[in-house]
Structure formats: structure tokens, C-alpha cells
């Protein structure tokens, strides 16, 4: 009787385990699947060499990635995520600086205040777009994959450019220089996201 009960429990365990393993395999654990791309891995130096067309961008890339990865070989989604987090942190610092300038009365002219306001609208749009990119990267490039990432970082760049257009008449503003640096961080994130392959066709 006890032996029969053990046999029944074993059969039940196997009947549950097999469908579970099949589901995990279909979801692409440990590799690509119908929804997730096979993401290449590389060092920070290799990733930066692959995407940087100028010395300035390569140096920015290495500073950004080596602060978190060192010489480790990591999936390109991890490198891209590091750059996206850097861009989001930079946005937050710029918004805080702009708020401090406005609250402290350092921007007396109404026209410049309006430019600051327009700039912050651009930052809000960029922050929302790049937050979605961060979520997509956390999912390993699944879902919309490269197309979704491109839509997100393109919107992020447009947000930075929207701010910059409003500040063209105020090149001496500290916000002008900060926005240029933030756009470079956004561009770096975009370039690293471009290393994420598109998911295989169904």
C-alpha cells in the first residue's frame, strides 16, 4: 500500500514537472527563443569600441561602463542598461539644478524662465521614454526588442533636443551646458542599445 502511494506521488510529480520544463524551454531560459533574442556578451571596452565614432564618446562610454562592470564580459543589454541609468540620473540632477536656479531667483528674465519651463517639458518626456527603455532592457530585449528600444531612445533624444532649442538664446546658462552633457549620455545609451539584436522572427 505504501509502495503504491509512493508510486502515485512520483507519477504526479513527473506529470507536473514535464509541462513546467516545457514552459521554461519555450520562454528561452538561458538563450534565445521565439520572443527573446540571443544577446551577445562583451567587455565594456569592446562595447565602447563598437559604438563610439569619436574619442570623446569612447571616453564617456568607458567612464560610464567601467564604473559598474570593470573588465567583466557582460550581455550588451547590461551595458546598455548602465548607460540608461546614467542618463536618467543625469536628468534628475539637471531638473534639480534648474529648480534650484528658478527658486533662488537666479533666472530673473521672464523669457529665460519660459525657456527653462520648455526645457523641463523636454526632460519629462525624455525621462518617461528612457524609463521604458530601462524596463525593456531589464526584460532582456524581449517583447518589442530592438524596435521598442529604438522608439524609446529616439523619444529620449527628441526630449533633449526640445530642451536645447529653447535654450539656444541662452548659451551662458548653466542649464545649456548640462543639457549638452545629458544629450551625450542619451546618445551613448542609444548607441549601446543598438547592439541589442532584433528577436528572431516567429
User: Residue 71 has which C-alpha cell?
Assistant: 573588465
Q: Is 135 exposed, middle or buried (0-12, 13-18, 19+ CB in 10 A)?
A: middle
Q: How many domains does the chain have?
A: 1
Give me the CATH number covering residue 67: 1.20.140.40
Alpha-carbon distance 179 to 151, whole Å?
A: 21
DSSP 17-29: HHHHHHHHHHTTT
Q: Residue 126: which of 80, 78, 158, 85 has the closest Cα?
A: 158
pLDDT tens by residue, 79-115:
999 999 999 999 999 999 999 999 998 888 899 999 9
Show Cβ contacts of residue 159 under 8 Å, excluding neighbours closer than 6 positions: 122, 123, 124, 125, 126, 127, 129
Q: Is-contact 91 126, C-beta < 8 A?
A: yes
pLDDT at 134 over 80: yes
Query: What is the span of the domain harbouring residue 117?
Result: 41-193
Show Cβ contacts of residue 112 under 8 Å, excluding neighbours closer than 6 positions: 170, 173
Q: CA Rg, the chain, in Å? A: 23
pLDDT at 52 over 80: yes
pLDDT at 139: 82
Instruction: Report which secondary-structure segment, H or E, holds 199.
Output: none
Does residue 91 fall inside a structural domain?
yes
Alpha-carbon distance 202 to 142, whole Å?
A: 13
Phi, psi of 84 (to 5 degrees): -65, -45
> Where residue 159 falls among pLDDT bands split at 50, 70, 90?
very high
Does residue 4 fall inside a structural domain?
no
Alpha-carbon distance 140 to 120, whole Å?
A: 30
Does residue 14 fall inside a structural domain?
no
DSSP letter at 53 equals: S
Does residue 35 fall inside a structural domain?
no
Does residue 48 fall inside a structural domain?
yes
Does residue 23 fall inside a structural domain?
no
- Percent pLDDT > 70 in the chain is 75
| Average pLDDT taken over every residue of the chain | 81
pLDDT at 144: 63
Calculate helix-pair angle for 110-138, 76-103, nearest 10 degrees: 160
Average pLDDT estimate for 9-23: 32
Does residue 31 fall inside a structural domain?
no
Q: Is-contact 80 137, C-beta < 8 A?
A: yes
pTM score = 0.79
Average pLDDT estimate for 63-90: 88
pLDDT at 70: 64
Calculate helix-pair angle for 145-167, 110-138, nearest 10 degrees: 170
Higher pLDDT: 99 or 37? It is 99
Among the listed ranges 19-23, 53-57, 75-79, which one has the minimum average pLDDT value? Answer: 19-23
Does residue 149 fall inside a structural domain?
yes
pLDDT at 18 over 90: no
Amino acid at each position: 500500500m505504501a509502495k503504491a502511494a509512493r508510486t502515485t506521488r512520483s507519477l504526479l510529480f513527473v506529470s507536473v514537472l514535464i509541462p513546467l520544463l516545457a514552459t521554461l524551454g519555450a520562454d528561452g531560459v538561458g538563450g534565445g527563443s521565439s520572443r527573446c533574442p540571443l544577446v551577445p556578451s562583451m567587455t565594456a571596452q569592446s562595447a565602447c569600441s563598437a559604438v563610439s565614432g569619436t574619442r570623446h564618446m569612447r571616453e564617456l562610454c568607458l567612464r560610464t561602463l567601467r564604473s559598474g562592470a570593470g573588465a567583466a564580459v557582460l550581455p550588451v543589454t547590461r551595458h546598455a542598461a548602465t548607460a540608461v541609468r546614467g542618463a536618467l540620473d543625469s536628468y534628475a540632477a539637471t531638473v534639480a539644478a534648474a529648480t534650484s536656479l528658478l527658486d533662488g531667483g537666479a533666472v530673473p528674465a521672464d523669457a529665460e524662465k519660459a525657456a527653462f519651463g520648455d526645457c523641463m517639458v523636454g526632460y519629462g518626456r525624455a525621462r518617461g521614454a528612457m524609463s521604458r527603455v530601462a524596463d525593456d532592457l531589464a526584460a532582456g530585449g524581449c517583447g518589442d526588442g530592438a524596435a521598442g528600444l529604438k522608439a524609446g531612445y529616439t523619444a529620449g533624444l527628441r526630449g533633449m533636443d526640445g530642451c536645447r532649442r529653447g535654450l539656444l538664446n541662452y548659451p551662458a546658462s548653466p542649464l545649456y551646458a548640462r543639457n549638452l552633457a545629458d544629450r551625450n549620455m542619451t546618445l551613448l545609451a542609444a548607441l549601446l542599445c543598438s547592439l541589442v539584436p532584433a528577436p528572431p522572427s516567429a
